[in-house]
Structure 1
């Protein structure tokens, strides 16, 4: 059935579209006019929190409005990510996400409350950091090989902590390549898991430098290896997993980036991206986090979108090879 419009109706429709377009452009041009909320889906003190707060401060300076961090931890970042996925796409609610929320959860969770592939607008990349595999000081091992030997002597008795997808997957990957069986213990936050590692409630923890490096340097835990392909300048005495075990392809790098709800206006995305890239080039921010093994990498929203697709496939492969099933 054909619908006919009068000239008056067409004129009104065209005028409405023009007004709508004008309002959208005006909003984008004036953005931001109020504080921006950035959801960090992990606990205070985590690497995502520390890096996110530093970027938020720099972004606020560039945008002329404060970027206020709000922690929403739980379920490997799923809870905080879901809040952003269901928020208005007006640029005032952002997700400071990671490989957990925007790459790995798709393969780890049976029932995500959002579609990971379509729920978010990629905005800007912060950077990446490897993990440190560390053990409680009372464990009678001084090397990763020694840890593997201990784990093989009593399968399933050795425990590992995790509070994010990267922490869990790195440990499960280690178990797979080393031919050992460990028992995972889930925590709400990395700092809580670290407290239990120091106290001996768990044996091993593979965690980001922000949580683990200060404790290794203070002698409260014993570092065994780093999860990158090359040794980290932040702690060059630690071998890579590949060096320690005499293998080739073990690598796990955690990344951090900003996302918004789906369908954000392009002009707002570009404003936020520019602010993120300025922060990533900031000398004091780079110097502060390079000590944690963090490497910034400014780029476009399109580059982040492409990276997320590649990382999602990469993490799916790693999770499958580690024998992990969605839960």
Structure 2
């Protein structure tokens, strides 16, 4: 835990430093920007972890910039619907979008005809938090361990249903298939809420989910965490082993989130938004929010660093997926 706290404080300090280096909002926005409500597009259903953090951030950014903030949920289509909503809006800086590894890294790898290019069409402002995925099942499930899941899948291929509501989580399932030499029946969902309902009710066997979003259901005894997809155990789930401990090396699904705007937005306006976003992320109440909601750390990387991370992750996931035996 001390190591995690040090990393949190380091990233918060970095956010404050970057915010201080950017032009002041009143300087960068001599054209009166923002002149109307800020619109935050969230490619997830209401109630998800990303939706909750966006509402927290949007309210505070709106206050900093003197405008109301509206959160618009546009789930489905592997986050493509949300990206299209961003890119179809006027590129005046009033529309932002929640970004993630699915929209910025995974989609370009798995979709041949993706209607956008992440780093050509979208300008990342900053990341805000870093979490991890967990493999979960309902507490009434026949599966009590990862080994139970794998043994059942080996005995009867495709008999185990594996849910996902973002392509990053589907990648986790494909990697488990490849490493364990099994086949799952992959079931897509639009969001965590319906997926968790099916897990709890027994209509779905297992799923990779945002560990933070699943924490309330795990703590209340409705979901059972079988493993976490990270190099270290989750501080809020210390009794749950990592998948690396269970024989799945490199199955490390980091769930970073951040925000971006259309690449056509004037740089001065993007800088106003970036400064406000980093100011929000640098505050103690945001650190408290991320801690209470299961994120591993505040991760305040400004735009250029986000682009470098996207490039590095694209190389990593492309290699992993090329090695995976995709389900037919």
TM-score normalised by the chain length of structure 1: 0.87
> CA offsets per residue over residues 87-120 of structure 1, 9 Å max, x none?
2221011111111111111112222222233111
CA distance in 2, matches of 1:71, 1:105: 19
Task: Report the CA distance between 1:136 and its aligned residue.
Answer: 2.4
CA distance in 2, matches of 1:62, 1:26: 14
- The equivalent residue for 1:273 is 274
Q: Which sections of structure 1, spanning at least 5 residues, go unmatched?
A: 1-24
CA distance in 1, matches of 2:143, 2:75: 33
2:258 paired with 1:257:
yes
- The equivalent residue for 1:87 is 89
Does the Cα contact within 8 Å between 1:234 and 1:290 map onto a contact in 2?
Answer: no
CA distance in 1, matches of 2:277, 2:94: 15
2:274 paired with 1:240:
no
- The equivalent residue for 2:3 is none
Q: Which sections of structure 2, spanning at least 5 residues, go unmatched?
A: 1-26
Q: Which has the larger radius of gyration?
A: 1
CA distance in 1, matches of 2:59, 2:201: 34
Distance verdict in 2 for CA 1:294–1:90, change over 3 Å: farther
Aligned with residue 313 of structure 1, among 302, 312, 315: 315
> CA offsets per residue over residues 114-149 of structure 1, 9 Å max, x none?
223311111111121101101122332321122212
- The equivalent residue for 1:297 is 299
Does the Cα contact within 8 Å between 1:234 and 1:293 map onto a contact in 2?
Answer: no
CA distance in 2, matches of 1:206, 1:26: 42
CA distance in 2, matches of 1:29, 1:228: 45
Does the Cα contact within 8 Å between 1:134 and 1:222 map onto a contact in 2?
Answer: yes
Q: Secondary structure at the match of 1:57?
A: helix
Deviation larger for 276-285 or 39-48: 276-285
- The equivalent residue for 1:62 is 64
2:148 paired with 1:130:
no
Root-mean-square deviation (CA), in Å?
1.9
Does the Cα contact within 8 Å between 2:129 and 2:295 map onto a contact in 1?
Answer: no
Does the Cα contact within 8 Å between 2:172 and 2:251 map onto a contact in 1?
Answer: no
Task: Report the CA distance between 1:72 and its aligned residue.
Answer: 0.5
Count of equivalent residues: 301
Structure 1 stretches of 4+ moved >3 Å: 25-29
Does the Cα contact within 8 Å between 1:124 and 1:272 map onto a contact in 2?
Answer: no
After TM superposition, list the pairs within 5 Å mapping 1:46-61 onto structure 2: 46-61=48-63
> CA offsets per residue over residues 276-309 of structure 1, 9 Å max, x none?
1112122122112223134212232211222222
Deviation larger for 207-216 or 185-194: 207-216
CA distance in 2, matches of 1:230, 1:27: 43
CA distance in 1, matches of 2:30, 2:108: 32
Does the Cα contact within 8 Å between 1:81 and 1:97 map onto a contact in 2?
Answer: no
Distance verdict in 2 for CA 1:211–1:320, change over 3 Å: same
Does the Cα contact within 8 Å between 2:143 and 2:149 map onto a contact in 1?
Answer: yes
Specify which structure has the bigger relative contact order, considering alpha-carbon pairs within 8 angstroms and separated by 6 or more residues.
2
